[in-house]
Copies of this chain bind each other. A is one copy, B any other.
């Protein structure tokens, strides 16, 4: 892994639901008997910061954002696509409320697994628990990297990060439909909306990216990477 984690401030997790492969038939059945599958429309709130975390959210379809807010400001922690688990830190009973809010970017659906059932299984299946430890660990390392980048990179680098991350991890293509507004990009990159607009314009003017409606295309990948690595 080396120190690559220091170079990207975008947080995207890889699918995590393969952890369920480690469950026995009975355990799997118990989970299935204690979950509900819910659909969410674009823009709907899936979980609200501060509310009681009664379930682990297993995102089965769609794209969501996880963010923290206070009375006046918002920080997007990460963007998750299907196959991810949300709410694991609330397994710890002292973190019994959601520390963040979750909102659907596009029509999504999720399995809501009763947290007590999930907790019970974790406490009894060490292999499964180890997998959860792996997920939490990967998340922690990523967060360290993102933290470092936010502190040490300036706005051009952070925005380049986000674009590269969306392209590379979420859409897996150099050309993709940007579902995020400038305001949301701003919350994700930790800067003002106006700054995002200005920097995006500069990226376009300098031929790093092109934009056609909501479709973004990365033209000069190398230079964008260079900026991301702090240019």
Contact = CB atoms under 8 A, between A and B. Distances in A.
A122 interface: yes
Contact of A1 (B96, B128, B152): B96
A147 B148 contact: no
This chain: copies in complex: 2
A136 interface: yes
Given A70-B3, A75-B147, A144-B68, A126 B137 contact: no
Contact of A136 (B49, B73, B133): B133
Given A92-B133, A97-B1, A143 B143 contact: yes
B143 A99 contact: no
Contacts of A143: 140, 143-144, 147
A83 interface: no
A100 B143 CA distance: 12
B152 A91 contact: no
Q: A-side binding surface: helix, strand, loop or mixed?
A: helix
A137 B50 contact: no
A6 B68 contact: yes
A213 interface: no
B68 A137 contact: no
Contacts of A38: none
Nearest to A72: B152
21 contacts: A1-B94, A1-B96, A3-B49, A3-B50, A6-B68, A75-B147, A75-B148, A88-B133, A88-B137, A89-B137, A89-B141, A92-B134, A92-B138, A99-B141, A123-B130, A129-B129, A129-B130, A133-B136, A136-B140, A140-B140, A143-B147
Interface of A: 1-3, 5-6, 49-50, 68, 70, 73, 75, 77, 88-92, 94-97, 99-100, 119, 122-130, 132-134, 136-141, 143-148, 150-152, 190
